[in-house]
Amino acid sequence: MNRIDPETRARVVNCLLEGCSIRATVRMTGAAKNTVVKLLADLGCACAAYHNRNVRGLKVRRLQCDEIWSFVGAKAKNVSAAKKQEGWGDVWTWVGIDADTKLVMSYLVGGRDGGWAGEFMEDCASRIKNRVQITTDGHRAYLDAIENAFGADIDYAMLQKIYGAPSDEETRRYSPAKCIGCDMKVVSGDPDPKHVSTSFVERQNLTMRMQMRRFTRLTNGHSKKVDNHRHMVALHYMHYNFVRVHQTLRCTPAMEAGLTDHVWTVEELCALLPKPTVRASKIESELVTKALSR
Sorted by where each begins, the domain ranges of the chain are 56-224
C-alpha to C-alpha distance for 129 and 134, rounded to whole angstroms: 14
- Please choose, from the candidates 240, 149, 236, 159, the residue with its C-alpha nearest in 3D space to the C-alpha of residue 197: 159
Mean pLDDT of the chain: 89
Model confidence at 1, pLDDT cuts 50, 70, 90, reads very low
More confident residue, 81 or 142: 142
C-alpha to C-alpha distance for 241 and 235, rounded to whole angstroms: 10
More confident residue, 192 or 169: 192
- Please choose, from the candidates 73, 4, 72, the residue with its C-alpha nearest in 3D space to the C-alpha of residue 34: 4
* Long-range CB contacts (within 8 A, 24+) of 217-225: 217/174, 218/174, 221/21, 222/70, 222/71, 222/72, 222/73, 223/70, 223/72, 223/73, 223/91, 224/72, 224/73, 225/72, 225/73, 225/86, 225/87
Model confidence at 279, pLDDT cuts 50, 70, 90, reads low
- Please choose, from the candidates 256, 48, 92, 65, the residue with its C-alpha nearest in 3D space to the C-alpha of residue 150: 65
User: With 70 as the cut, is the pLDDT of residue 294 above it?
Assistant: no
C-alpha to C-alpha distance for 281 and 155, rounded to whole angstroms: 58
C-alpha to C-alpha distance for 102 and 200, rounded to whole angstroms: 8
Q: What confidence score (pLDDT) does residue 259 get?
A: 97
Quick one: average pLDDT of 129-138?
95
**Do residues 189 and 155 lie in contact, with contact meaning Cβ atoms separated by under 8 Å?**
yes
**Do residues 272 and 50 lie in contact, with contact meaning Cβ atoms separated by under 8 Å?**
yes
pLDDT tens digits along 155-173: 999 998 777 776 655 555 5
- Please choose, from the candidates 68, 9, 79, the residue with its C-alpha nearest in 3D space to the C-alpha of residue 216: 68
Class of domain 56-224 as given by CATH: alpha beta
User: With 50 as the cut, is the pLDDT of residue 34 above it?
Assistant: yes
Amino acid at 76: A
Q: What confidence score (pLDDT) does residue 274 get?
A: 87
Q: What confidence score (pLDDT) does residue 183 get?
A: 79
User: With 60 as the cut, is the pLDDT of residue 2 above it?
Assistant: no
The percentage of the chain sitting over the pLDDT mark of 70, rounded to a whole number, equals 89
User: With 80 as the cut, is the pLDDT of residue 280 above it?
Assistant: no
Q: What confidence score (pLDDT) does residue 91 get?
A: 94
pLDDT tens digits along 50-75: 999 999 999 999 999 999 999 999 99
